[in-house]
Amino acid sequence: MALYAIGDLHLHYQSELKAPGQLRDRVWKNHEEKFRKNCNKLITTEDTLVLIGDHSWGKNLSECELDLQYICDLPGRKILTRGNHDMFWDTKKTKQLNDLYQSRLTFLQDRYETYRDYAIVGTKGYTFEGPFWLDRRGRIVDWDEKEEEHAKKLVERELQRLRTSFELAKADGYRKFIMFLHYPPTNILEERSGFTDMAEEYGAEQVIYAHSHGESRFHDSIHGEFRGIQYHLASGDYLRWHPLKVLE
């Protein structure tokens, strides 16, 4: 029995591919097939796979059916959290999604799931991603303050959602946590954030995040141990489509 994670599958069986860069980079070539093979080799029916956002390019549920079917057909229990591109997933309709995919997929939002004696908490998260202005040496000298203000509001909302999940798990007696975010916990300007503070407050053992894909983004945020917590990037192309083992 093991817990695995990966993010950013960006499936597009029924929709237009919106990032042509994906086609140019070798790592994305037949990535669906590579990932399916890796899962079939690694994951058993007793295992759990957390898919941390950007599942599909589809704009609505009907454009995502084949993508979600692909995920249903992967081995193990599948838990999905939201990414910024998951237009098919209206947070207010998470219950309907769970009803529709009952016993096949679990859509995690504003609550928690369990793995052994751990609570799995997760939300999309958010980080300010610019625009940044660079000097001739490529150093950040300024950024769009209006965008930064807007980002702060989104960060607050996501922190509230995350706190709801932690509190529900805590009220039910859980003391061990694995925290999942789609966005990195910090942006390139930050050393720590509301998300790293919350992970520390509740004593999460690990924080797993995605969203940073493409070589130039892999080191946008924290890798390894930071203030007693393990941070792991689990975007699909970073992992070369091998799910990350989070817990035995």
| Residues at the interface with Fe ion (CB under 5 A) | 8, 54, 83-84, 211
Q: Is 65:104 a contact under the CB 8 Å cutoff?
A: no
Helix axes 145-171, 194-202, angle to 10 degrees: 10
Show Cβ contacts of residue 26 under 8 Å, excluding neighbours closer than 6 positions: none
Q: Is 215:26 a contact under the CB 8 Å cutoff?
A: no
Residue with Cβ nearer Fe ion (46 or 215): 215
Q: Is 177:203 a contact under the CB 8 Å cutoff?
A: yes
Encoding tokens for residue 37? 């093979």
Positive or negative torsion for Cα 235, 152, 222, 162: negative
Give the residue at shortest CB distance from Fe ion.
54
Report, in Å, the least distance between residue 218 CB and Fe ion. 13
Report, in Å, the least distance between residue 236 CB and Fe ion. 8
Give the β-pairing of 132-134 and 140-143: antiparallel
For residue 190, how many other CB atoms are within 10 A of its CB?
Answer: 16
Residue with Cβ nearer Fe ion (119 or 122): 122
Report, in Å, the least distance between residue 89 CB and Fe ion. 13
Report, in Å, the least distance between residue 5 CB and Fe ion. 14
Report, in Å, the least distance between residue 179 CB and Fe ion. 17
Report, in Å, the least distance between residue 227 CB and Fe ion. 25
Residue with Cβ nearer Fe ion (78 or 211): 211
> What's the CA gap between 171 and 218, in Å, rounded?
36
